Structure 1
Amino acid sequence: MAMMNVEIISKEMIKPSSPTPNHLRTHKRSFPDQLAPTTYIPIILFYQSNNAHDGVVDHHQLQKSCRLKKSLQQTLNRFYPLAGTLKEDHSIDCNDEGVEFYEARVACKLSQILQHFNMEILNQFLPFEPHGTHDVLLAVKYNIFECGGVAVGVCVSHRIADGASATTFLGAWSATSRGDDDVCPKFDAATYFPPKDISWGKGDIGVTKEKIVTRRLVFDKSSIAALKENASSTRVLAVSAFIWKRLMAISKSKPAPARVHVAIHAVNLRPRMVPPMPTHSFGNLWYFAAAVLSPHDQLDGGDDHVSNRTLAIKLSKAIKGIDGDYVKKLQSDLIPDSLTKEVELSSKGDVESYRFTSWCRFPLYEADFGWGEPTWVCCPSMPFKNLVVLTSTRDEDGIEAFANILEEDAVVFDRDEELLPFVSWKIADY
């Protein structure tokens, strides 16, 4: 499907409906916030039209737009840092400057989008390029299709939020739009994880200026069952280990393959605190678990001969290592050894890194703004080589993997005979 016309018809700043109290004007960012990349978290939610008559589309879209804006104002009262400004000292001035809200018309029907996965087209439904630098911490784009269907594209700054926080915001906003929200987020991450001096390690680790393409892999219930049987693990770890192995096979096919392969899995710190933090604690409350495959592990024949079970065990062990005691170390004044090792490894030419983050437990498909749950939710491309974002399918039985890889590696990836039998390319039923 060729590029289409997505015409922006309006742009405005949406401010909280009530001013932020003076004692909340400064929001301190936490140590994990300091480690977050300067990119935005991009999420697009697609909704089919509930109206069968095209003649009343404009009237209903006006109602939907007004509802979104009003509920966003109300939601920002509780999520006030999102309407603020990042200061030079990296704190947030909660000055109620507002968030950007775009409205656009799309010159096609929603069904045409759902028939194909085209990342260049999907990116047009976002407020802006999520890899660039912008003044706002949150932006929304409300896209209206010819059929009356809509796409809500959201960019949340990673400097203040992780995937769980972005999902919490979407859940609160959609519930407010329905008139039944009671979520009150907590902005106390810096109390538990005070900022540290990491000026030596500044820069977005893993971000590349090379051409990145995104491949969408859908693992259905039967494929996941087969992978779990081979890996003897959870569905997320089984899928992660399988993709890790297939990405390593790409490295193995190169003239100068990497000797060490590191899989880095994001770990949600909220349930690992003692006692656990509330699920709606806001911020970058995650850390990374690193599983290393060294040359010693590959003596049985190389990267592509290491079993899925071995890789899954390594990932599981690394993730379990981020326990209550480890979190206490993160709360101390010391710089964790794992962070310095990650920076050191990322600078070595014989090391290949693969990053995974799982959104499978996030209730993205519960984001009902008053016109039904989304037909499809996706995470568009991000500028990280070998970054894989995992989400649950709409029926929750399967997993969608959005794999960001080098354009030159996609040639090998697309014809991988070990990969293809386990995945499908269908987006959604509509």
Structure 2
Amino acid sequence: MSEDLSLNDVVMPICYTRISFVFDYKIDDLEKPLFEFLKRFCPSVFGKIVYDENKPNYGQLVESTSNSSRIFSRADQPDIPISNYINCSFQELDVHPYSAIPTDSTPLFFLHQINVRDGTLLAVGMHHQLSDGRGFFTLVERFSNWIRYKDDTKIIPFNFDRSLLKPATDVLYEHTEYTTQARKYSFTELPTMEVIVKKFTKQELFDKLKITATHVSFNDVLVAWLTQAISQIRQIPSDETIKVGIANDGRSELGIGLDYFGNCNFYFALQFQMIDLLNKSVNELAEQVNNDKKKRMTKDYMTSALAWLKQASEPVHPSFKAFLGKDLAFTNWSRFPLYQIDFGHGPPRRVALPPNRWDGLILILPTETDAVELYIGLKQDHADELLQRIDAL
């Protein structure tokens, strides 16, 4: 096995996408079926990613000789009821076998199974440069379907052809979402951070924020509202510009199908003038998000972005500096099949992120109902003030 990663794979952060699923029933040991499923339907997870220092923005997926048993691990907690994991705070779900950053010795994909007295907890992760969220969560969903149906013909094959992400001949747009300037952090001197977890339905939030625009999406309003509130709390000067990075799945726009396995996740960097965030309503800002987003959610824009990456002579990074900066980044998983994952006796009772520290990143997850669950990471003092604002809505 030897396969070049796409330009879009390599520009993604080197990190794990991690999630926990809490089931209120016992799942049989998954080690043997997991390996059988992966070998049949997603053998690339057994590989490793290597880089060439002489080629910026290049990576290759090659066969790994490391011990593949690191993909699966298990633990038994026979005295702990599953209700503990259903009702605990997400900070207490520190059950993942690997931290957020992969190393040369950690796998591209892992599943950790915890068997408790009356249920099962699954902690799952995937290297972001192997696939985006859609590929990751679809893989877990198809694995659960394969366990449930015991029928290969019911599993839709993935498309692994990374050459489908073809760059345009020329760069047609100014791609403000990228930069060649890497940002360095002193991870030994990080300030205290907090993650706010809140649930909202679309109608509930629209009513609270007095949204009257009929064409804006739930995501548009979330981006507008939180960008305005957090930027005000950060006391950014009125003459500054704030970038907001938004991740978007480009499969439909590029016409490569939802079964593509890899990164078809494109970043967009919307720009807000702080003076507007001080003076405009959330309704007006949501309309701005909707208009700006539509200009970038096109095949021409995405293939131009790939052309920009191809011509870059230095390593490329996202330009929005959300972490300990003035910018923000949004990732929306609310339409992914997290609550459709079913190992035979129903979907999970809870889906949750693992505890971590971040600043300026907002993740939007689905729930069992029509609400979404927001994870909003900020420095502690900013999180405290934002929580007061949310509770006062």
Alpha-carbon distance in 2 for matches of 1:399, 1:319: 21
Q: Deviations over 1:372-429 (max 9, x none)?
A: 211111223455421111122112x11111112223422222322xx1155xxxxxxx
Deviations 1:157-205 (A, max 9, x none): 11211111111111111111112442211112244246xxxx9837579
Alpha carbons 1:208, 1:383 under 8 Å: kept:
no
Q: Partner amino acid for 2:268?
A: A
What pairs up with 1:112-151 in 2 under 5 angstroms?
112-119=84-91, 121-123=92-94, 125-133=95-103, 134-146=105-117, 148-151=118-121
In the alignment, does 2:16 pair up with 1:40?
Answer: yes
Give yes or no for the alignment of 1:270 onto 2:251. yes
Give the total of aligned pairs: 365
Matched, 1:30 2:11: no
Matched, 1:324 2:296: no
1:287 aligns with 2:248: no
Tell me, in whole angstroms, the C-alpha distance in 1 between the residues paired with 2:209 and 2:186: 31
Matched, 1:400 2:370: no
Comparing 180-189 with 87-96, greater Cα deviation is found at 87-96
Residues 405 and 333 of structure 1: CA distance in aligned 2, closer, same or farther (over 3 Å): closer
Deviations 1:215-258 (A, max 9, x none): 21111354134257516221222223222222123212x8x788
* Counterpart AA for 1:246: A
Alignment of 1:210-229 (within 5 A): 210=190, 211-220=192-201, 222-226=203-207, 229=210
Q: Specify the SS of the correspondent of 2:268.
A: strand
Q: Is the counterpart of residue 234 in structure 1 residue 217 in structure 2?
A: yes
Cα separation, 2, equivalents of 1:329 and 1:215: 36
Q: Residue in 1 aligned with 2:60?
A: 91
TM-score normalised over the length of structure 1: 0.75
Give 3-state SS (helix, strand or coil) of 1:415's partner: helix
Q: Residue 33 of structure 2 is aligned with which of 70, 73, 76?
A: 70
- Flag the structure with more relative contact order, 1 or 2, with Cα contacts below 8 A and sequence separation at least 6: 2
Which secondary structure does the structure 1 equivalent of 2:283 belong to? helix
2:233 maps to 250
Change (3 A) 1:348 1:158: closer
How far is 1:108 from its partner? 2.6
Gaps in structure 1 of 5+ consecutive residues: 1-24, 50-59, 423-430
Give the letter aligned to residue 269 of structure 1. Answer: G
Compute the displacement of 1:77 (Å).
2.5
Whole-Å separation in 2 of the counterparts to 1:109 and 1:117: 15
In structure 2, C-alpha distance between the alignment counterparts of 1:35 and 1:342, rounded to whole Å: 6
Show the counterpart of 2:55: none
- TM-score between the two structures when normalised by the length of structure 2: 0.82
- Do the aligned partners of residues 46 and 344 (structure 1) sit closer, same or farther apart at CA in structure 2, a change above 3 Å counting? closer
Q: Report % sequence identity.
A: 18
State the SS of the aligned residue for 1:374. coil
What secondary structure is seen at the aligned counterpart in 2 of 1:242? Answer: helix
CA distance in structure 1 between the partners assigned to 2:265 and 2:33 by the alignment: 31
Q: Tell me which amino acid in the other structure corresponds to 2:155.
A: D
Residue number in structure 2 paired with 1:22: none
Q: Which amino acid counterpart does residue 131 of structure 1 have in structure 2?
A: I
Task: Give 1:410-421 correspondences, 5 Å limit.
Answer: 410-416=383-389, 419-421=390-392
CA contact (8 A) 1:71 1:173 kept: yes
1:188 maps to what in 2? 161
Retained in 2: the 8 A contact 1:140–1:153?
yes
Match of 2:44 among 65, 81, 88: 81
2:340 to 345, 358, 366: 366
| SS of residue paired to 2:74 | strand
Give runs of ≥4 in structure 1 deviating > 6 Å: 204-209, 339-342
User: What is the root-mean-square deviation in Å for CA atoms of aligned residues?
Assistant: 3.3
Q: C-alpha displacement at 1:73, in angstroms? A: 2.3
For residues 219 and 184 of structure 2, what CA distance do their matches in structure 1 show? 24
Contact map agreement 1:130 1:155 (CA 8 A) in 2: no
> d(CA) in 1 for partners of 2:183 and 2:44?
22
Q: What is the identity, as a one-letter code, of the residue corresponding to 1:215?
A: I
